[in-house]
């Protein structure tokens, strides 16, 4: 019901007011008109999980709305509000959770009804690094008033207001009751009305990304949104600001961490989202990196976009664990900052111990104002100052550690530092390329972790012989295999590159800082075709094992990522060893056994037919499966997973001994026409007379298979049918099963 403004003199001229006190549902009521406006949210009609309302939290007055940064906004249809012309005031309480880059120089709109190109309407919103602006179409001119020196802080409430009056011919911005910016305009120029819908939280001229997504969205809390058709004087704005704080003893209240953090709860029941693989709470991730062990805890970071499940706004997400299995979400560790070395992105890197034995992060600092726009940045833990054991706080070094010079690799491609300390020296590898000779990792050393000396290319392969290695290498990793050998891993990039994890076993000459491979031809760890990428690694101080971490790509369309609210997850940690035959041993870490629940099946020495009879009783999509096939009983053997009752959907993991081929056939994985998980993925696996042993981890859409400790196959499966949960062994007639064990696996997030 429309309120009587005579009872509220400060509301004179108030034409729209969204208190956002609903606390539930998908409608926001305008207290002035009584109109209930729809709230958009990706999970309102979630295809893969339970439908949920938009997220509501505690506000300045009553409740507030939490916008997810990509799919949440309020719409008021254009014909249901009178657009202000001669004067306007827009005010709101906002608490940003992250900052957008400002695609196409457009604002992350808080309130807007505008067309910048037509020079119509108004928009109040944020820009890069928390700067903010009001912009108006005034009589054929687009006018912008900015506040750069008082940015809106993340995770804190701010009261913002913008006013304009054509008679006074001035635009003003107010922050927490204080005027912070002013711009005089031409006399008697009114706002040219725009007939677009009025949106709260979304720019109505947003830049398009990857078909389904729009940039220029607000991410965070919004409360008490008001629009007036007059310019409120400072005294009234101060009075309104103080009235809002009356129940908080006159002080802006702190926001509970639980009210603004990225919350994984809405996604826990997604039938495709892995339950025991590490993942961000929501939204997009790329490679996990910078693993390090400190004070009894493992820390692992990851490339992350907190705004949505798409690639942009690169931050460092952060997990912590006591066993590399049960990961706990921590606040974002590193964010791009305007006055730091990384205003345009915090790209991949690594962690090492500093001179005091405390973790330090080495990262790729993005700064598009520089050429090259990539350098090596450093952030130090504040542990020695605050003793905070989760390593939440980091302080960035004010200058880049290493800036690429011409003659040092492929100029402009210079990223993903991998750092370790050995003796009194720190060693650093960074991905790059060479002029016409293919990719490489560049080598640097330092005696103090701050001043670095260039040592030349660490190793360069022959690009004419191995064109699939591309002209640039990302994410170089060097790990010991016993006392004599090392494994060197890279991810190729560039024309003709096969973007997988390749490796060489060889000798590391620490004095010359060079790598000498035992054989020139690189090998693949995983044959799953772009599902096992983005390597990082560490030597576990507890056990001495060399451990690698990877990203498991999601392989979905932008629309499916949008509908789901997440994209990608980490692969399981993998232990690398040097076998007696000189080959690389590849096994999931033993700690994963802690996730085992019910032992669903245990068989020994039986036929294929006998095993399949018992397998009819076993179903699941979060399982650990260990199978050993009897030697010489057949040339082809494998396992069907995620099988529907009549076999309409199924995914076949197989080994063909005649072809020495490990593969997965996904031709029947899903009946959905929207999913991309189709086709056959395979690669060479020479068993050299050994038994075939398959160790399979099934985790919703994830399947990781380890074959005889020699090769892995990581892939994705997205069955359309909820009852595609069956298992069936597969192979030639006469195939014998030496042993078969199946366990349920527990969620690490329940």
For the CA atoms of 251, 256, 257, 263, what is the dihedral angle to 10 degrees?
-130
Residue 666's nearest CA partner among 731, 718, 732 is 718
287 alpha carbon, distance to own chain's centre: 8
Contact 218, 199 (CB under 8 A): no
Distances in Å between the Cα of 111 and the Cα atoms of 153, 206, 289, 352, 510 are 18, 13, 38, 44, 58
User: What pairing do the DSSP bridges indicate for beta strands 63-68 and 178-184?
Assistant: unpaired
Helix (H, G, I), strand (E, B) or coil at 260: helix
At which residue do the structure tokens 């290319």 appear?
A: 457
Spatial separation of the C-alpha atoms in residues 588 and 600, rounded to whole Å? 21
CA 589 to chain centre: 24
246 backbone dihedrals φ, ψ, rounded to 5°: -60, -35
Mean pLDDT of 167-171: 97
Which runs of E-coded beta strand occur in 188-262?
A: 198-200, 208-209, 213-214, 219-228
Q: What is the pLDDT of residue 7?
A: 41
pLDDT tier, 6 (very low <50, low <70, confident <90, very high otherwise): very low
Whether pLDDT at 232 is above 70: yes
| pLDDT tens track for 540-561 | 999 999 999 999 999 999 999 9
pLDDT tens-digit readout, 85-118: 999 999 999 999 999 999 999 999 999 999 999 9
Task: Give 125's pLDDT tier (boundaries 50, 70, 90).
Answer: very high
Asked if residue 302 lies in contact with residue 285, where contact means CB atoms within 8 angstroms, the answer is yes
- CA dist 660 and 104 (Å) reads 51
Cα-based distances in Å from 630 to 274, 640, 705, 714, 739:
32, 18, 18, 24, 8
**pLDDT tens across 553-601, in order?**
999 999 999 999 999 999 999 999 999 999 999 999 999 999 999 999 9
What is the spatial distance between Cα 641 and Cα 652, in angstroms, rounded to a whole number? 7
* Side-by-side strand order, sheet with 198-200: 27-29, 36-40, 73-76, 198-200, 108-115, 120-126, 132-138, 141-147
- pLDDT score, position 147: 98
In the chain, the N- to C-terminal Cα span, in Å, equals: 43
Beta-carbon count within 10 A of 311 CB: 16
* Cα 253 to chain centroid, rounded: 30
What are the backbone dihedrals phi and psi of residue 701, each rounded to the nearest 5 degrees, phi first?
-80, -5
pTM of the model: 0.97
Give the span between the Cα atoms of 314 and 346, in whole angstroms. 6
Task: Kindly give, in sequence order, each residue whose CB lies less than 8 Å from that of residue 220, ignoring residues fewer than 6 positions away.
Answer: 66, 67, 69, 94, 95, 96, 97, 98, 154, 260
284, two tokens: 């997009």
Q: 429: closest CA among 447, 438, 441, 446?
A: 441
> Please, are residues 79 and 158 in contact by the beta-carbon 8 Å criterion?
no
Residue 632 confidence (pLDDT): 84
Q: Report the mean per-residue pLDDT for the chain.
A: 96
Residue 22 pLDDT class (50, 70, 90 cuts): very high
Beta bridge partners of 432: 440
CATH among 3.60.20.40, 3.40.1360.10, 2.102.10.10, 2.60.120.200 for 12-260: 2.60.120.200
User: What percent of the chain has pLDDT above 90?
Assistant: 96
Quote the pLDDT of residue 435.
Answer: 80
Structure tokens at 91: 């005010």
Q: Is 738 within 8 Å of 630 (Cβ atoms)?
A: yes
Tokens of 701: 């859409």
Residue 499 pLDDT grade (very low, low, confident, very high; cuts 50, 70, 90)? very high
Equal CATH topology for 12-260 and 594-745: yes
Q: Would you tell me which CATH number, out of the four given (3.60.15.10, 2.60.120.560, 3.40.50.10860, 1.10.8.420), belongs to the domain 594-745?
A: 2.60.120.560
In the structure encoding, which two tokens stand for residue 530, read together? 């772009």
Q: How many CB atoms lie within 10 A of CB 635?
A: 13
Residue 436 confidence (pLDDT)? 77
The answer to whether the beta carbons of residues 145 and 181 sit under 8 Å apart is yes
Q: For position 711, what pLDDT does the model report? A: 98
Quote the tokens at residue 615: 């397998």
What is the tens place of the pLDDT at every residue in 153-163?
999 999 999 99
Task: Tell me what pLDDT residue 378 has.
Answer: 98
Site of tokens 């400072």: 234
Of 1-5, 438-442, 709-713, the least confident: 1-5
Neighbours of 296 (CB within 10 A): 8
Task: Give the pLDDT confidence of 617-644 residue by residue, as tens digits.
Answer: 999 999 999 999 998 889 999 999 999 9
Q: Are 573 and 549 in contact (CB under 8 A)?
A: yes
- For the cut 80, the answer to whether the pLDDT of residue 11 exceeds it is no
Q: Is the pLDDT of residue 1 over 70?
A: no
Domain ranges of the chain: 12-260, 594-745
């Amino acid at each position: 019901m429309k309120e009587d403004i005579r009872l509220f003199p400060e509301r004179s001229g108030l034409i729209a007011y969204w208190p956002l006190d609903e606390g539930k549902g998908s409608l926001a009521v305008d207290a002035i008109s009584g109109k209930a406006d729809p709230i958009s949210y990706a999970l309102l009609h979630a295809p893969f999980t339970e439908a949920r309302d938009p997220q509501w939290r505690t506000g300045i007055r009553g409740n507030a709305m939490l916008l997810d940064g990509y799919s949440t906004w309020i719409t008021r249809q254009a014909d249901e509000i009178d657009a202000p012309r001669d004067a306007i005031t827009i005010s709101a309480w906002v608490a940003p959770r992250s900052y957008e880059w400002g695609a196409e120089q457009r604002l992350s709109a808080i309130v807007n009804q505008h067309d910048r190109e037509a020079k119509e309407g108004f928009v109040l919103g944020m820009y890069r690094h928390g700067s903010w602006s009001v912009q108006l179409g005034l009589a054929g001119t687009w006018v912008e008033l900015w506040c750069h020196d008082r940015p809106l802080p993340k995770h804190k409430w701010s009261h913002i207001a913008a006013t304009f009056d054509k008679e006074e011919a001035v635009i003003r911005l107010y922050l927490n009751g204080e005027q912070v910016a002013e711009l005089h305009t031409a006399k008697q120029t009114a706002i040219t009305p725009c007939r677009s819908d009025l949106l709260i939280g979304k720019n109505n001229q947003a830049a398009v990304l990857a078909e389904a997504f729009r940039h220029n969205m607000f991410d965070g809390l919004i409360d008490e949104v008001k629009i007036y058709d007059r310019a409120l004087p400072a005294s009234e704005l101060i009075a309104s600001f103080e009235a809002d704080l009356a129940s908080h003893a006159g002080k802006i209240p702190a926001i509970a961490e639980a009210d603004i953090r990225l919350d994984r709860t809405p996604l826990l029941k997604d039938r495709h989202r892995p339950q025991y693989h590490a993942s961000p709470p929501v939204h997009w991730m790329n490679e996990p990196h910078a693993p390090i062990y400190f004070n009894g805890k493992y820390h692992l970071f990851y490339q992350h976009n907190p705004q949505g499940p798409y690639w942009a706004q690169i931050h460092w997400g952060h997990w912590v664990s006591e066993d590399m299995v049960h990961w706990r979400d921590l606040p974002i560790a590193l964010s791009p900052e305007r006055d730091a070395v990384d205003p345009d992105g915090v790209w991949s890197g690594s962690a090492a111990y500093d001179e005091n034995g405390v973790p330090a992060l080495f990262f790729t600092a993005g700064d598009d104002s520089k050429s090259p726009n990539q350098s090596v940045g450093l952030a130090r833990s504040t542990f020695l100052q605050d003793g905070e054991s989760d390593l939440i706080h980091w302080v960035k070094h004010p200058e880049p550690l290493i800036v690429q010079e011409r003659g040092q690799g492929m100029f402009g491609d210079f990223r993903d530092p991998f750092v370790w300390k050995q003796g009194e020296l720190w060693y650093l590898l960074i991905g790059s390329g060479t002029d016409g000779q293919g990719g490489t990792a560049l080598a640097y050393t330092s005696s103090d972790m701050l001043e670095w000396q260039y040592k030349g290319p660490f190793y360069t392969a022959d690009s004419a012989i191995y064109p699939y290695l591309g002209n640039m290498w990302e994410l170089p990793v060097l790990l010991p295999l016993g006392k004599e050998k090392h494994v060197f891993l890279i991810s190729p990039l560039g024309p003709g590159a096969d973007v997988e994890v390749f490796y060489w076993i060889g000798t590391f000459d620490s004095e010359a800082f060079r790598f000498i491979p035992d054989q020139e031809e690189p090998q693949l760890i995983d044959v799953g075709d772009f599902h096992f990428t983005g390597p990082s690694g560490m030597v576990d101080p507890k056990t001495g094992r060399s451990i690698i971490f990877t990203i498991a790509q999601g392989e979905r369309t932008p629309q499916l990522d949008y509908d789901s609210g997440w994209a990608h997850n980490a692969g399981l940690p993998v232990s690398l060893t040097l076998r007696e035959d000189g080959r690389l041993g590849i096994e999931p870490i033993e700690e994963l056994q802690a996730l085992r629940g019910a032992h669903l099946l245990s068989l020994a020495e039986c036929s294929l037919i006998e095993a399949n009879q018992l397998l009819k009783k076993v179903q699941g999509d979060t399982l650990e499966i260990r199978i050993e096939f009897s030697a010489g009983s057949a040339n082809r053997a494998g396992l069907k997973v995620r099988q529907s009752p009549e076999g309409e959907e199924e995914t076949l993991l197989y080994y063909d001994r005649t072809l020495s081929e490990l593969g997965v056939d996904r031709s029947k994985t899903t009946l959905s026409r929207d999913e991309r998980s189709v086709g056959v993925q395979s690669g060479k696996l020479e068993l050299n007379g050994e038994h075939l042993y398959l160790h399979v981890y099934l985790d919703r859409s994830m399947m990781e298979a380890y074959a005889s400790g020699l090769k892995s196959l990581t892939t994705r499966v997205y069955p359309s049918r909820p009852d595609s949960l069956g298992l069936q062994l597969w192979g030639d007639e006469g195939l014998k099963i030496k042993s078969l064990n199946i366990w349920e696996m527990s969620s690490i997030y329940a």
